[in-house]
Chains A and B, each alone.
Chain A
Amino acid sequence: MNAWFIQHRAALAAAFRRLWATPLNTLLSLVVIGIALTLPAFGYVALDNLRDLGRSASGVQQISLFMNLEAGKKDVAEIENRLRQAANGKWKFVPKEEALKRMQASEGMAEIVASLPRNPLPDAFIVEPTNTEPEALEILRKEISGWPKVAHVQLDSAWVKRFDAFLRLGKLALWMLAGLFGAGLVAVTFNTIRLQVMAQSVEIEVARMIGATDGFIRRPFYYFGALQGALGGLLAAGLVLGALHLLSGPVGELAALYGGSFGLRLPGVPEAAVLAALGAFLGWLGAQLSVSLSLRKFD
């Protein structure tokens, strides 16, 4: 075993000992870090679920194409051909006869439909493109509008645009919040490490005098900061998971009231690992800043 590995292992063990030596301080620091990471993490998961909800909401990504009343089978075939080339996704042809039947089936419409001299409904296509970005949907809508025998193309683009703008705004706010709380985490670690350096000033002084390198002195503090951040990240993952578990029931009930079904997507092991890694990085950063400043007095 080489000296480098032995020293890293010893530094990691020392960091664990320091965490364990003051359980109350450790717990309070972890709670602060956990909450600081929970808020942006919860926001991220909430936005992710909203995006899913938007995608699954019926009609949002559909384009309805209505033909002219005089359009024949040849025109329908031509549109089908063009859709095959232009729209990367699914579509469904709704013949005017089927549309009329559906209308008749609607409550209170049977008599009205029966009194009509002829079928007033056109042939139609329901298009569901793969690319549901608002800009792409708008481009496709414009293209379809120019096709022959197409009377009207309907896209609920305003809703999609508004929803997309809301998500973008949410994402921006989330980044700002994450930056703010990330800085808070760095500050918490900075202060904890500063107090540790002060408490161990004699040990640091002696170690320097008998040949300790900067790395030897700094390493346990780096490990401490990273460990504390990682544990805070795991705590945050647990809090987010707990909150989503509590919310999933009421959200499902709400979705059922609107005639749909929606289940919250819960963070898994990869998301928890990312949160722990992020916490570890921010903790390490706080330790790095603190140790660099605090150790100057020993130079």
Chain B
Amino acid sequence: MIEASNLSKRYPGGLDAVKDASFRIDAGQMVLITGHSGAGKTTLVKLISTIERPTSGSLVVNGQNLSALGRHAIPHVRRHFGLVFQDQKLLFDRNALNNVMLPLEIAGQPRREAIRRAQAALDKVGLLAREKANPIALSGGEQQRLAIARAVVNRPTILIADEPTGNLDTESGMAILDIFADFHRVGVTVVVATHDQSWIERYHPNVLRLDHGRVVS
């Protein structure tokens, strides 16, 4: 469960990216964070995933108050999240399999087990046949699917994505939506920041609408 109370984030320079946001996302829900460009979607995603720290307010995720977390506790909290970025942030000096194995290496999984789980994650997103391929050789849609495989390989309780279909054509975007929906169906909490309205039409998720940093509905 994710619960925010009067959550605010002010960047240096005085920009209030998120202002007094209060909301609750229950475990297993699929929630879309929408709003116009600059509404604060990305900042809210970064706050939930502990990439940014709130200026004020509280944010409780799975019973843990992220606002009060010490610096050394943050990496361990992040391992409970699966993060998918618009620009994927793939590593081009590793092949697809090794990209997916990274979270397992960080968690200290034995190599054999890490390979097995990474291959299972690649299989889930339809990329097992490309496990040896360098990400640069993959299409935009495949790269995004690879990023999703990396995000889910550690079996996160919450899958968080920021504009995951932003750079994709309609068909590839739909394929990505279906993968997120699959994870939602097996009980994973899915939080996606997007301005892509096709999500709403296709899956009727809960929607958190932002406007100038404030939650409006």
Q: Which residues of A are at the interface with B, using a C-beta cutoff of 8 A?
A: 1-4, 6-7, 10, 202-203, 205-214, 216
Contacts and interface: CB of A to CB of B under 8 A. Distances in A.
Interface of A (DSSP majority class): helix
Contacts of B77: 211
B: interface residue count bin:
20 to 34
Given A10-B105, A202-B89, A209 B110 contact: no
Nearest to B150: A210
Contact of A209 (B76, B78, B107, B108): B78
A214 to B, nearest CB: 8
A78 B102 CA distance: 86
A4 B75 CA distance: 15
A10 B108 CA distance: 9
B109 interface: yes
Interface string B89-106: 101010000000011011
B91 A202 contact: yes
Contact of B76 (A1, A7, A206, A211): A211
Interface of B: 49, 51, 72, 75-79, 83, 89, 91, 93, 102-103, 105-111, 150-151, 154
A37 B103 CA distance: 40
A216 B106 contact: yes
Contacts of B76: 211, 213
Nearest to A202: B91
A214 B77 CA distance: 14
A81 B63 CA distance: 89
A209 B76 CA distance: 11
Contact of B108 (A3, A203, A206, A208): A3
A168 to B, nearest CB: 49
B89 A205 contact: yes
B83 A209 contact: yes
Given A4-B108, A10-B105, A216-B75, 9 more contacts: A7-B105, A203-B93, A208-B75, A209-B49, A210-B78, A210-B102, A211-B76, A211-B79, A211-B106
A1 B110 contact: yes
B78 A211 contact: yes
Contacts of A202: 89, 91
A6 B109 contact: yes
B140 to A, nearest CB: 18
Contacts of A212: 75, 106
7 contacts: A210-B78, A210-B79, A210-B103, A210-B151, A211-B79, A212-B75, A214-B75
Nearest to B107: A3
A213 B108 CA distance: 11
A132 B64 CA distance: 72
A286 B35 CA distance: 48
B110 A210 contact: no
A2 B51 contact: no
A206 B51 CA distance: 11
A13 B184 CA distance: 38
Nearest to A216: B106
Contact of A206 (B91, B109, B111): B91
Nearest to B93: A203
B116 to A, nearest CB: 15
A6 B89 contact: no
B106 A207 contact: yes
Contacts of A6: 108-111
A208 B75 CA distance: 7
B46 to A, nearest CB: 10
Contacts of B111: 6, 10
Contacts of A10: 105, 111
Contact of B91 (A4, A203, A208): A203
B172 to A, nearest CB: 22
